[in-house]
């Protein structure tokens, strides 16, 4: 038998080590890419469901208002119908697609509520709609949500902002020498007047009667 033909048959039967490594590398790349992209796509899909469900929830509550002039004071748990008298407005209120829990329905506590808000949390926290609805810093009673819908007469409540401690009030007084200065404890120095955050002391320090007795309270 021709040796060239034997060599050719051997090549057709197997793969070289380099070829195997190339295939393994491609498989690893495909796995890594899919392990990253697939979960994110699932998150996006669930968020799309949340947005759609909240819109349908809102429409049902608006129908309730059109028939009664009031929004529901409360709503049943998800999977239960929203009923008005003997009429079923929505046969099954939506549940969150991941937690299977009810969405948060909030309204003013009165016999006839005049507004409502419905809240949830989107998984893709970089979604531009979060900023557009004003929930970048959180929404809801405890700022625990990042997305919601509401009646046309009510914004999502409230726009939560990061609280910053206000700067302390500077207590300006007329020092014994006649200048307007900050004292930590004006009462120790027997200062007759305090001028909060007023570095001019209302131009009163030229009068000795407005000056502190001593400078003991200038620092703690």
pLDDT attached to residue 27: 75
Q: Hey, what long-range contacts does 86-92 have (CB within 8 A, 24 or more apart)?
A: 89/60, 89/63, 89/64, 90/56, 90/57, 90/60
From CA 95, how far away is CA 30, in angstroms rounded?
34
pLDDT attached to residue 220: 62
Q: What is the phi/psi pair of residue 85, to 5°? A: 65, -120
pTM of this structure: 0.58
pLDDT attached to residue 156: 80
pLDDT attached to residue 167: 77
pLDDT attached to residue 83: 94
**Pairing mode of beta strands 180-182, 195-196:** unpaired
pLDDT attached to residue 37: 59
pLDDT attached to residue 195: 92
Question: Which parts of the chain have pLDDT scores under 70?
Answer: 1-15, 30-38, 157-166, 220
For residue 163, give Cα distances in angstroms to 120, 125, 137, 158, 159: 23, 21, 11, 13, 12
Q: What confidence tens digit (pLDDT) does each residue in 85-139 have? A: 889 999 999 999 999 999 999 998 788 999 999 999 999 999 999 999 989 888 9
């Amino acid at each position: 038998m021709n040796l060239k033909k034997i060599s050719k048959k051997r090549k057709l039967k197997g793969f070289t080590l380099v070829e195997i490594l190339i295939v393994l590398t491609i498989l690893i790349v495909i796995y890594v890419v899919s392990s990253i992209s697939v979960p994110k796509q699932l998150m996006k899909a669930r968020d799309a469901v949340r947005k759609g469900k909240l819109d349908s929830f809102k429409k049902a509550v608006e129908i309730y208002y059109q028939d009664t002039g009031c929004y529901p004071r409360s709503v049943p748990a998800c999977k239960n119908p929203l009923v008005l008298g003997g009429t079923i407005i929505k046969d099954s209120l939506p549940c969150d697609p991941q937690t299977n829990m009810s969405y948060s329905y909030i309204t003013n506590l009165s016999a006839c509520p005049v507004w409502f808000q419905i809240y949830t949390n989107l998984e893709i926290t970089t979604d531009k709609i979060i900023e557009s609805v004003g929930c970048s810093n959180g929404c809801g009673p405890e700022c625990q949500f990042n997305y919601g819908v509401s009646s046309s007469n009510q914004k999502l409540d409230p726009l939560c902002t990061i609280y910053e401690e206000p700067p302390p009030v500077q207590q300006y007084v007329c020092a014994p020498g006649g200048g307007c200065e900050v004292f930590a404890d004006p009462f120790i120095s027997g200062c007759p007047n305090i001028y909060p955050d007023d570095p001019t002391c209302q131009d009163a320090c030229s009068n000795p009667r407005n000056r502190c007795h001593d400078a003991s309270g200038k620092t703690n």
